[in-house]
Amino acid sequence: MNVKISELAAEEQFDPLDMHNYRMENLPVREKSKVEKYIAMAGIPLSLLAFVLIMWVIPLPFLENFDPQTLGKGAKAAFEKLGPEGFVRTNVAMFAVFVSSVILWMTEALPNYLTSLILIITLVFTGVLPEKTAYAQLGHEIMWLNILSFILASMLVETGAAKRFALWFIVKFGHNARSIFISFILINIVLSAFISATTAKAAILLPIFMVVAAVYGATGGKHKNNFGRNLVLQNLFCINIGASAFVTGSGANLLAVSLIVGATGQGFFFQDWLVVAFPVSITLLFLGWIVGTRWIFPLSPEEQFPHIQGGMESLGNELKNLGPISFAEIKSITLFVLILILWATDKYHGVSATAVAFVGAIVALLPTVGVVKWNEVDIPWHLLIFSAGAYTLGAGFKVTDLPAITVNAFFDALGLGATTPFWVLYIILTGCMMFSAMLFQSKTMRTMIFVPIAIGVAQRFGFGILSLALPVALLIEHVYVLPFNSKPALLLYSTDQYSFTDTFKFGIVMMIISWITIIVMGETYYRILGYTPNGVFGFF
């Protein structure tokens, strides 16, 4: 009885319209289920067992029988230096490290940054990479872009510019359920153009859409409804798919482009990505809204209007409390617009996105002139260490050419020769990239694995590299099906506005729709742009 009374008292003291209740530090930490705990306990022994079996027990013919002439430049140099036997042992070691690391990442037996640190030093001890190469990945160009992006995102957060824009948009246009959902779609698109960190976008928007959910009767826990399910899940979808519209939307997008540019030897710029990706992103965002609110979690008539009378006014009051727009906000917005303009015109001035972000971060941190101080900048170093492990894995792939060797062995085993139709390769590669998101935690790791594979397949079968690698790269941001698929997914799951089953239902349906969409685009739009040869299916 006392427990129930204390719970009721806690509910009475909790104000669902107070945005401060929904800050990241105030959200409950989700405890693992029994099954998740058992999986985590099994992770370390399974990882060690896999490493030992691959390194010393199980023969791997597909790594031993390959044509040295098919190796890339980095791998050919390693082959000449180590000799056939040494090169095979290096590939076996690389495969062992890769499999054991994936097991640790998937089971979450260890924190992901710790797995990355173990991965890096293991690649050194097994002789796959020299120390200088392994440790240097922390200074990778995309790592710097990630750091600088967090500095720039902190500028918008600390000055309140991002919060002011999101609040203003909802207060101005969020008059009913339909306009609220459309408003959040547009807010996410705008923020994606400026903020490269999806976790930062989630942190900015979470308090706002949680208050809106409460206004419409969804306060989480026992008080879930379809409005809340749709609002939070679709914001998760928008946060990720909005990022896919811009090459600067996430570090993984830029990494994919750098891999493609390295393989083709030709530039691929902000505008090129925008032309290919933006129409797909916009289409999927509105399809997600329709599918969610009309089919999977249809809104009842009473869920389409506010439950708390005057509740939306609380957001208006929050906007008023911000006061008039400050000079610091104006400076941060002006600086970010200039950065965006330079990103968008990189084809003409040739300055990389990282270099532009470098200059922007320096200006933002300048005394007096700047907008933020270093101690106000929020840089999640554990995520960056995690990313460094993925980049080190990529460096190992480059030296061993493991993805290309594996791909060749796979297609040889299937009996797919030079006459294999393009559409078979297109469907296999995009399908693997899409649904791999259900298993892997890291967008960076998926990029490191599947983009080089797509490049290798294109080269093996004589198709243009962009025809396969680009559609695969456009699927990087589909990390919303399960809570462990991305940091925003885990963060939003902790709001308790939806269940594990809810996120799987919505996520898997949108994955299938997105896969069909990328196939249709391959036959139509990408063919018109000259990326896919004779379409995917050759209908026209």
Domain count, the chain: 1
Q: How far apart are CA 172 and CA 180, in angstroms?
A: 10
Around 528, how many Cα atoms within 13 Å sit in the side-chain half-sphere?
A: 6
Tokens of 57: 């027990």
Q: How far apart are CA 115 and CA 111, in angstroms?
A: 6
Tokens of 72: 């890339």
Cβ count near 319 (within 10 Å): 17
Map tokens 């008292």 to a residue: 9
Of 276, 238, 229, which Cα lies nearest the Cα of 256?
276
Give pLDDT, residue 1.
42
Give pLDDT, residue 10.
44
Contact between 241 and 292 under an 8 Å Cβ cutoff? The reply is no
Q: How far apart are CA 516 and CA 278, in angstroms?
A: 17
Map tokens 């090459």 to a residue: 247
Give pLDDT, residue 9.
40
Tokens of 343: 């990103």
The SS3 assignment for 223 reads: strand
Q: How far apart are CA 193 and CA 168, in angstroms?
A: 18
Q: How far apart are CA 91 and CA 404, in angstroms?
A: 11
Give pLDDT, residue 156.
82
Backbone angles phi, psi at 415, to 5 degrees: 75, 25
The SS3 assignment for 198 reads: helix
Of 95, 530, 108, 525, which Cα lies nearest the Cα of 281?
525
Contact between 503 and 214 under an 8 Å Cβ cutoff? The reply is no
Residue 110 placed within a domain: no
Residue 313 placed within a domain: yes
Q: How far apart are CA 506 and CA 175, in angstroms?
A: 25
Tens digit of each residue's pLDDT, the chain (540 residues):
444 433 434 444 545 655 555 555 555 565 667 877 888 899 999 999 999 999 999 998 888 888 787 777 778 888 888 898 899 999 999 999 989 988 887 788 898 889 989 999 999 999 999 999 999 988 888 788 878 878 887 888 788 888 889 889 888 888 888 999 999 999 999 989 888 778 878 888 888 888 888 888 887 677 788 999 999 999 999 999 999 999 988 888 988 888 888 788 888 888 999 999 999 999 999 999 999 999 999 998 888 877 666 667 778 888 898 899 999 999 999 998 999 899 889 889 989 888 998 999 999 999 988 899 998 887 778 778 877 887 888 888 888 888 778 878 887 787 776 678 899 899 999 999 999 988 776 787 788 788 988 988 888 888 999 999 999 999 999 999 988 778 788 888 888 889 889 999 999 999 999 999 999 999 999 999 999 986 555 554
Tokens of 515: 């896969």
Around 75, how many Cα atoms within 13 Å sit in the side-chain half-sphere?
A: 23
Residue 190 placed within a domain: yes
Give pLDDT, residue 31.
66
pTM above 0.85, yes or no: no
Give pLDDT, residue 20.
53
Q: What's the distance, CA 342 to chain centroid?
A: 23
Residue 293 placed within a domain: yes
The SS3 assignment for 349 reads: helix
Residue 187 placed within a domain: yes
327: containing domain: 141-246+270-376
Cβ count near 512 (within 10 Å): 12
Question: Which are the contacts of 495, defined by CB distance < 8 A and separation ≥ 6?
Answer: 22, 27, 206, 210, 220, 232
Question: Which are the contacts of 334, defined by CB distance < 8 A and separation ≥ 6?
Answer: none
Q: How far apart are CA 72 and CA 398, in angstroms?
A: 8
Contact between 190 and 196 under an 8 Å Cβ cutoff? The reply is no
Cβ count near 36 (within 10 Å): 15
Residue 156 placed within a domain: yes
Q: Cα torsion for 518, 523, 524, 529, to the nearest 10°? A: 90
The SS3 assignment for 174 reads: coil
Distances (CA, A) of 424 to 239, 280, 411, 429, 433: 31, 22, 12, 9, 14
